[in-house]
Structure formats: C-alpha cells, structure tokens
Structure 1
Amino acid sequence: MTPVFYGTLDPADVAALHKLDSLDTDIVQRRIHRTLLAFRGLAALIADKSVPREAYHDLWSRIWDWITFLDAFREHLRFTDPSVNRLLIGNTPGVWVVIARAWGMLLHAQDIPGLNGISVVLASVKAGYDCTGIAPLDDLISGAGGGWSDLASFVVCHLKLACPHPDGTITRDNLVRATGIIYILSGALHSHVEFREALWEQGLVTALTQFALALVVNPPLSDFTFLPRTMFTAITSCFTCSHAHKYIVESLRSGFLRVLIWYGGTSDDEVIEQELLPVLAGDLPGSTVWYSVLRQLRISLAQVRDINPATMFGRSDLAQHWKLFLQLADERLKVVDEYEAGTLTALRACDNLECGQVCDKRKLKRCSGCRTAFYCSRICQKSDWRNGHRGSCWQFRQRRIEESTLCGCKDRSFLRALLNRDYARMQEDIALELLRFRHMHPGHIPYTYFDYSSGWCAISVRDTLTPEIEDTYGEEIMRVMRGGGRMQLHLMGVNRGGTCCQWWQAMPLRSASAALDRDLLRISVPPSNGSRVDVESCRSRVRHLLASAGVQTH
C-alpha cells in the first residue's frame, strides 16, 4: 500500500489546488479528503513498521508539500462535521452487523490495536446513535451470533482485555477501550432486561469491578474522569436485581470494598447522596443475611480493616455508616461461626401435628416428594399424609424448586439459623409483645414479623397477612391454627432486590409443649377492674415461663 499512498500525495496536485477560486468545490473537497485518507493510511503502516526505512525521505518531501498547502489555506477550507459522517455510515443497512463480526474476530485474536479502533467505533453509539433504543443493538446482536448472550460475551471479553494487569499502569489505550463499552452499557443496562441479565451472567460485574479497582490504583487521565462514576453506577445497578446477593459476592471478590472507600473519599455530595449512600446504608447491610455474602465478606473485610474511615471518607456520615456496617457484619460473622458448628440448626420438629416432637434433626427423615416435611417415624409420615400432606406435598415441592432459583441450599439453611439465633436472643421481648398483642386483640391470631430488609432485625407482632403471604403459605397458616398452641407463625423478610425488594417466608416456630402459649394467654386476660395489663411488670414472670417452656426451633 505504500506506493499507492505515495502516488496519492502527488505534488503536482498541490500546484493545481493553489488556484482554489477557479476550481469546482466538490473536486477540491474530494482531493483533500483523499489526501487525508492517505495520511491516515501511512500513519497506520508506519505504526505497524510496514514502510521501508529507505522510503521515508521521498515520502516526507511529498507529505511536507501537502502540510504546507493545508496550513496556508486553512481559513478557506471547509471540513465536514464528523457527526454527519457518523450518521451517514451508521445508518447504512447492515454496517453494524459487519462491525460486530469484525469485533468478534479481533476479540478472538486479542488484536489490541484493532480493538482500540473498534472502541472508537463503538463510542460513536454515544456520539450519534440511539443507545437506549433497539438500534443499533439489533444489528450488533446479529453480527455477534444472534442472541443477547453472544453480544454480552463480546462486551465482557472486550472489557477484560481493556483492563490492565493489577500491578500495571493504566494507559490511554486502556481507557479508550473501556470507554467504547461504557457507552453501550450506560443505555443498555437500564433499557434492555434480557441484555442486562445476559451481561451479568457473562461476568460483567467482575470485569467492571476489576477495572474500577485499577482506576483506584491509577486515577484516570483528565479527559476520562467520567469513568469511575459510570463504572460504579454500572456495578451497583445489579444490587437491585432479584439475585442481588449473587452479584454482591462477585463484586466483593473482585475488590468492591476498596472501590467503595476510594469513591466515597473522592466524590461530591450529589454523587454520595444518589449513588454511594444507598449502597453503604442499604444494599450492603441488607445482604448480610446471606451465607454466601458473609463468607466473602470475611475475606474482603480483612483487606480493608486497617483503613481509617474518618481519613478515607470525606463526610462524617459516610464514616458512621461504614462503622455501622462493620458492626453488623462482625455480628453476622459470629452467627456464621455458630452455623458452621451446627449448633443453630441441630433441631427439627416432626411435621405430624399429632406428634410434633422436637429432636435432633438426624433422627428425622424427609418426605421424598417435597423434601421439606420431616418425620420421626413411618407412622407419623402416614398419619400426616392422611391428614393433609397428600394434597399439599406437590405445592411444597414446587415452592422449594422456585425458591432454589433465588438462593442456594446453604443460603436458605443459614436464614433459618439466623432466625433461630435472633429469636433466642430476643425471646423475652417477643413474648412481651405477644402478651401485649393478646391483651389488645383478644381472639386474634398473632403473626410475628422479623424484617431483615435493612440488614438489622426489626420485630413486630400483627394480626394481618398480605395477600401474597396468604396465597403462598396458606397451608402453613392452617397448620398453625391446628397446632394446638405448639406452633407460632413467624415470618422472615429479607431484601432480595428487584421490583419486589422484600421476600417474606413463613418459618413456623415449633415448640415441644403448648404450655408457653397457654400461660401467655392466661396472663393476657384483662384485670377484673377493667384496667390494662402492665406488660413490663410481667417480665420476670415471662422469663420464668420461657425457662420452663422446653425446646423450640424454626
């Protein structure tokens, strides 16, 4: 190609173009445009070391003739608005399909210079095309392979190749490659659910967090200062999805806490209020009910323990929220220790209501159908089958399958452990609340709510259930009513993200004896003189009743 570009830069044309006034405007523009293309082509060849060194002298004499001409007539030359060219090219049917195919080939070859060029092209989505609508995403999908997951794999692979080595320095090329992807994400993450979920499944959270961590170590160049906020927003967008805890684990594993601390110390008040506080005061504390999150937090917190929040955070309220989060995480990690020792989930109750024995769960057998009901003997299983489990077994099975898509077995098991731990810790106060409820609402069934959506446990006793809870846990409600005082309906609410941010589960409390329920009911009877029961004055009596109530478990 060198001889072609050499011929294009013929100095004879320079002499002819000096007579601008006598030439057709279109002819002048086409000739100058051809010259600029030759400049770009030669630059690429020289960068690729494809131009013979002996040709430099002859090339330079022609290049310099054109440079002096362009400089002399710079005020008379009208250059086309680049956005017009972008729209012209981008609106050509099929062009984005071809671009996506080329993109895939460059990714496969890990052609870094080529990916730099593709990044500039992708950035034009922001410059002139609709990044929130379906175009040009439809064409990009087609060129990538035909599905959202195909395009998502391109995006994540591209971002991983853009990220420098953890110990390396961020260069302009790294930032350019990341920028092209960020422009696509800024619209697509909020507008296309299928694309968003495909990106997360392909590992976008890890790739984004790793790049954001690289920005912490090597702050970006002045014309890329928008990247940290854009990346932080993209990372935390998954914290509100229906599987938020899964992606929080992913981000923590990749260094999110360091990113959070750095971001909190370098952001202005608007960014802190809109983006950082909701994460530090909401998403992270709310995720500490999940075993998978806590296991990763144990590792991630150890890496930032020596950081002084008062020094790193620019605002005192951020430092305070950080301290509260650490306190909550440390408390939950103690629960993890007890859970892993097996002490919090050692007991189960036989689900035959005529038996209801609370014993070591190793002595019980599961129903092979639903895998959620437990029995201490074959006799109890047959009895419960006749008394209602025959009709509800398939419902329990279906619900277990649906819940398994939200969280794994360990996470679900840990929720029961956490509830057992907090009930035991607050048992006395809960009993007093039940006493107050029975006094104020005689004849009503009490339902005890354990709300963990903020991370911390908030307890309330109510006489109402939401329609969703009634529909989902109708069988458990009926069993509590038939339990003869040996069952209480406890409801545990956790933050799972998504449009329905709270997930309420019925976790009935099983007691070996009905004595506690019977005695609380007797205490709650109003005095004969019509005055109200002084609940607090009953504390010592309630404490004695609890001590003799026998074992309980969820």
Structure 2
Amino acid sequence: MHPDLRPGNISTLPISYKRYASPALNGSLTDFQKLMDFLKKRPHSDPALFLPVYYSNLDPAGIPTAAQLDSWTDHVSPINRALLALQGTTQLWAAGFRWPDGVLSLLWPRIWKWINWLDTYRETVQGIIPLSEVDAYSLYMRSIIEILTNSTAVPLANMPPGIRVFGGRAWRITLPPTPGRNTVAHSDVVRFLGNDTNSGQPSNFREYLEGVGTVDDFAALVLRHIAHAMPQPTPLYLFFQLSGMLGMLVERNDHGGPLHRALLDHGIIKAVTNVACHYATSSSEETVEIVAMCFTLLLRAFDAFPSYTAVAEALESNKLIALITTCAQREGIHWNQSLRRLLETVLPPSVWSYSVLKALSGLLTDRQRLVPANGDRLFPALDFQDVELSTMWEQFNKLATQRVSTFQAYDIGAYQSIRGCDNMDCGRLCRRNEIKRCSSCRQTNYCSVKCQSLDWRVHGHRHICARLRPLLLAPEHTLSSVRDSSFVHALVHHDYELHILTWCTHKIYFMYAHPGVPFYLMWDYIRGTAALGVRACAEAPPDPEPSDASAA
C-alpha cells in the first residue's frame, strides 16, 4: 500500500479531528459526515492525512449487489460514504492540493467503479443520495476531469470502457436550460469533450450516443449546446465551449446517415452558419479553427441530397452571404478551399430552386426590383485576395441577379397562367386548369388524350418518359417540390425566349445532320447556367453524377 494511504496515518491527527476520522475510516457514516462538516469549519494544514479515510470508504467491496438493492440490507451507508469520499477528493483539488506521486493511479480505479455503479443504478439510488441529479453528476464529472487533467494520472485513451457513456449522460444532464448561463458542472463536461480527441471514432461515438439517448436526442443536444455558447462574446470562451463538440461532429461523418439527417432536422445549418458568421471577424487562432470546422460541417450538409434545401436555409437572414463577405477580407488556406467549393459547386447549381431564390430575394429591401439590364447586382462586388475567387463571386453574383429577376416575375404570376401542349404537332397554349400532365413522368403536358396518345406512339415520348421522372438516386427524398417544378418551367420559358436564336441554330443544324429524326431540346442546369442541347428522342438524357443530382 502507498505510504500516504495507510490507515495508521490518522493517528498523527489532533484529537479534535481523530475522534471523527477514526470511526469514519472504519465505516461510520455519521462520523464521516461530522468529519466533513468539521473540515469545512477548520481545515487541517496537512490534507494528505485524510487520504486513508477517503481511500477506505471508496473500497469497491462496499458496492451493493443487485440482490442487496432489492433486500433490506443496509446499503445506504456505503453509498453515502462513497459520495462523501468523492466530495473530499474534489475539495482537495479545489484547494490546489498537490497529490503525492502514485496516489491518483491507486485511487482512480476505486473512484471509477463507484461512479460507474452510481450511474448504472441512478434511478434506484435517486431517493437514497442527498444530491439532485445535476449535483450528483457534477460531483462525478469533477472527479473524472481532475483525473484526466492530472499529468500523472490516466489519460482518456486508457480509460475503461463505458467512460464515454457516462460522459454523454453527464452532458445531457448538466447542460443548463438557459442559454449563456454557465455552470461548473457543464464546464467540466466541456473539458471532458475537449480532452477526447477520438470522440468521433465509431466505437467511441456509439458510447456517447448511448449516454445521450437516441440519435434525435443527440442532435437536439448539439443544437442546445451551440445555443448555450453563443451569448458569450469572447472568442476564447467560444473555443472552450465548442471545439470539443464540433470536433466530434467533424470526425464523425456518417455520410448522409441518421445522424446527418437528425442534425439537419434540428437546424444545424443555421446554427453553424451563425457561429461562423459571428466569429469570422476574429483574428484569434482559436476562432479561426472554429470557423474552419463550421465550414466543414456546412459543406458536408450541402453535399447531401438534395442540397438546395440546405443552401436555402443557410441563405436565410443573409448569414451565408455575410460569412463569404467577411472571409473575403480574411483568407487562409482552409477558408480559400471552402470558399472555392461554395462559389463553384454549391451556390451556382442551386439557383434554379424556388426555395433558394426565395431566400435570395428575401435579402432585398421592400419593393426593391432587380433590373439586370440596367447593371444592377444582387450583392456588392468583393475583392478577394485570390483573383480566381473574385471571378467566381462575380459570376455567381451575375447568375443570382438574373435568376432572382426571373423569380420576381414568376412570383407575381407572369409565367403561371399558360402552358403549352408538348405534342410536337400541336403546341396549343392552355390555361393551367385546362391542361393535364403525363401520369408517369409528370413532366410533359397535353391538352387532350389524343395529343398524349400521338406523342407517345409517334413522337418518341415512349422512349424518354422514364428518364424524365424525378431522379431516384435517393428514394427517401424527392428531387424537388411542386413549386420548384413549376418555377423550372418558368425558368426554361424565360431562357428559351432569351436564347431563341441560339436554339433555332441548334435545331436547324440537327435537322440537317439527322434528317427525319425526332428530337427534343435539353436544358441542363447542373452547373448553374443553362447548357443548351438538341438530342434525338431515342437518345436518353445522360444521368448526372450523384454529387450533381440536386442541381439536375
């Protein structure tokens, strides 16, 4: 036994302390309580002399079995004595006690066995221990975090299995209900998460998830955690609060799985956009790292199918554009890569969607109308240090301006009242309630059953109908809403009128090259701008890459 843990050490105590310490060492709950009260009033100059009392009362032999919990056996005393011993050790840490070498490595196994048992039987012992659930987990986490942060103790990597299950449960229990109101208990959980550099690994993450509850519970907790951190203004505090938790999310990428969907449902896009936008102006190393993690999570959300819903959410309240504007003045290698992806593969392919354009249009002042021909721009020019980024921004700004102008016209009803029959021999214009869609692909319109039958048998709709259906790359999602589909028709109409001479040239060339071959016009918005094409009816449209599916 370690010299500082020997029971005989208490014999050197003054009688005023020894009269309580000696029976407490031998299992007297009443005397242990009196000893703790006496130490609060008259702290001893050598706290190490009380280590044998704490060590003895944390003996795992005193842990009740499941059978004992169901019987009349007196299990109240060992449970409460173990709690008093935990309180005693945490008070030593709070007082700045310098632990003798080797003591913590002997004390830790006993501490963990008791904490693990108290956590496992938390519902059973709730009426026994004199602490609220929050206070109890605060005590447990304080004991664990002090062990973790002690250089001579056991690192988290070598902690026993189940430690993260406890960490997840403590996280859920100790997070304050009021945003911005910090507690010692929650700060200890934050320190625990920050110390766990492997929290996102599948096996470790499953432990956290087990402690928190369901995937939906975990996602809700993440959003509460972010909301709790945001009212604090200092970058260093933000880094302390969020680095461990965001690091876990960055490392744990389930590639569009249940966790990803749950986070999206609970509003992770708005939350991390708000964090990044709020702190991108800070030059501290800590917040630069936080913003980089936010970019990673945002781009991961934008890569999901369909991406346009995530883009629309990020654009609301101008947060994403404000973030890009701020980053234009403060670029780094990680931010440049993120900005390039936003301006090349995320934003341009999304501006065909009604929801995205509605969010962009919402950034305009009341009754403001865009007139692209007059040189108006939706956003101001940005002078990036990287010239290529400036060019990408200008291209997106021009495209967004044109699309919002079309959207504004669509939104006041300029394109909604009339549709054309898609039978090539007809082309009759009808009111919306006078025309019917193909029940299979839902993409072609006919003024009569005769026109539909003729188009099916003669003009090639039979060959392309299946390919005109919304892409089924992700069966749980639909490609677009009814409103999106309606707006795409208006967009195609607008672009057709804008490029009618080009279209006529393409059609004439095709007819000369392929005389007598039925053809159709293809509009490809995968890259943002409209790509023009004329194809034979027997030639199906090419499938886009999965990453491009949301823009098809």
Using the size of structure 2 for normalisation, the TM-score is 0.63
Secondary structure of the structure 2 residue equivalent to 1:84: coil
Structure 1 residues 105-124: Cα deviation after superposition (integer angstroms, max 9, x where no partner): 22363462233221111122
Give the alignment of 1:80-159 within 5 angstroms: 81=151, 84-89=154-159, 92-107=160-175, 109-110=177-178, 112-113=182-183, 114-126=185-197, 129=198, 131=200, 133-145=201-213, 147-159=214-226
Secondary structure of the structure 2 residue equivalent to 1:289: coil
* Change in 2 beyond 3 A, CA 1:341/1:6: closer
2:251 is the alignment partner of 1:187: yes
Q: Is the 8 A contact 2:417 2:431 kept in 1?
A: yes
2:405 maps to a residue whose letter is K
2:521 is the alignment partner of 1:448: yes
* Change in 2 beyond 3 A, CA 1:169/1:362: same
2:45 is the alignment partner of 1:11: yes
Secondary structure of the structure 2 residue equivalent to 1:449: strand
* Change in 2 beyond 3 A, CA 1:221/1:116: farther
* Change in 2 beyond 3 A, CA 1:330/1:397: closer
Secondary structure of the structure 1 residue equivalent to 2:351: helix
Structure 1 residues 294-345: Cα deviation after superposition (integer angstroms, max 9, x where no partner): 11112336699785523xx323332332222221111111111221232334
Task: Give the drift of 1:438.
Answer: 2.6
Cα distance in 2, alignment partners of residues 447 and 211 from structure 1: 47
Q: 2:337 corresponds to which residue?
A: 274
2:546 is the alignment partner of 1:499: yes
Q: Is the 8 A contact 1:125 1:183 kept in 2?
A: no
Cα distance in 2, alignment partners of residues 442 and 263 from structure 1: 54
In structure 2, list runs of 5 or more residues that go unmatched.
1-32, 52-85, 97-148, 367-376
1:155 maps to a residue whose letter is V
Structure 1 residues 8-29: Cα deviation after superposition (integer angstroms, max 9, x where no partner): 9643467999xxxxxxxxxxxx
Q: Is the 8 A contact 1:9 1:35 kept in 2?
A: no
* Change in 2 beyond 3 A, CA 1:386/1:237: closer
Q: 2:496 corresponds to which residue?
A: 423
1:418 maps to a residue whose letter is L
Task: Give the drift of 1:207.
Answer: 0.7
Structure 1 residues 467-511: Cα deviation after superposition (integer angstroms, max 9, x where no partner): 6x48x9xxxxxxxxxxxxxxxxxxxx8xxxx83414687xxxxxx
2:412 is the alignment partner of 1:412: no
1:215 to 265, 279, 293: 279
Secondary structure of the structure 2 residue equivalent to 1:448: strand
Task: Give the drift of 1:154.
Answer: 1.3
* Change in 2 beyond 3 A, CA 1:381/1:323: closer
CA RMSD between the two structures: 4.4
Task: Give the drift of 1:88.
Answer: 3.4
Cα distance in 2, alignment partners of residues 8 and 442 from structure 1: 105
Task: Give the drift of 1:208.
Answer: 0.4
Secondary structure of the structure 2 residue equivalent to 1:450: strand
Cα distance in 1, alignment partners of residues 275 and 509 from structure 2: 54
1:243 to 299, 306, 311: 306
Identity %: 23
Cα distance in 1, alignment partners of residues 196 and 291 from structure 2: 20
Cα distance in 1, alignment partners of residues 491 and 241 from structure 2: 45
Cα distance in 2, alignment partners of residues 108 and 348 from structure 1: 56
1:234 maps to a residue whose letter is L
Cα distance in 1, alignment partners of residues 476 and 419 from structure 2: 20
Cα distance in 2, alignment partners of residues 229 and 267 from structure 1: 11
Task: Give the drift of 1:158.
Answer: 0.9
* Change in 2 beyond 3 A, CA 1:5/1:227: farther
* Change in 2 beyond 3 A, CA 1:16/1:236: closer
Cα distance in 2, alignment partners of residues 398 and 317 from structure 1: 37
Structure 1 residues 189-223: Cα deviation after superposition (integer angstroms, max 9, x where no partner): 36673322221221111110111122035x16444
1:175 to 239, 245, 248: 239
* Change in 2 beyond 3 A, CA 1:454/1:10: same
Secondary structure of the structure 2 residue equivalent to 1:157: helix
* Change in 2 beyond 3 A, CA 1:466/1:277: farther
Q: 1:260 corresponds to which residue?
A: 324
1:292 to 346, 355, 359: 355
Secondary structure of the structure 2 residue equivalent to 1:267: coil
Q: 2:127 corresponds to which residue?
A: none
Q: 1:459 corresponds to which residue?
A: 532
Q: Is the 8 A contact 1:5 1:41 kept in 2?
A: no
1:314 maps to a residue whose letter is Q
Q: 2:230 corresponds to which residue?
A: 163
Secondary structure of the structure 1 residue equivalent to 2:532: strand
1:361 maps to a residue whose letter is R
Secondary structure of the structure 1 residue equivalent to 2:499: helix
Secondary structure of the structure 1 residue equivalent to 2:154: helix
Secondary structure of the structure 1 residue equivalent to 2:196: helix
Task: Give the drift of 1:157.
Answer: 1.6
Q: 2:264 corresponds to which residue?
A: 200
Q: Which range is displaced more, 3-12 or 173-182?
A: 3-12
Structure 1 residues 273-314: Cα deviation after superposition (integer angstroms, max 9, x where no partner): 52211212331122111111111112336699785523xx32
1:226 to 286, 289, 304: 289
Structure 1 residues 25-79: Cα deviation after superposition (integer angstroms, max 9, x where no partner): xxxxxxxx99984343458xxxxxxxxxxxxxxxxxxxxxxxxxxxxxxxxxxx9
Cα distance in 2, alignment partners of residues 278 and 265 from structure 1: 18
Using the size of structure 1 for normalisation, the TM-score is 0.63
Structure 1 residues 112-151: Cα deviation after superposition (integer angstroms, max 9, x where no partner): 223322111112231xx352x3122112222222x32221
Task: Give the drift of 1:422.
Answer: 0.6
Q: 1:327 corresponds to which residue?
A: 398
* Change in 2 beyond 3 A, CA 1:353/1:142: same
Secondary structure of the structure 1 residue equivalent to 2:334: helix
* Structure ranking higher on relative contact order (CA contacts 8 Å, 6+ apart): 1
* Change in 2 beyond 3 A, CA 1:351/1:421: closer
Q: Is the 8 A contact 1:365 1:376 kept in 2?
A: yes
Task: Give the drift of 1:163.
Answer: 1.3
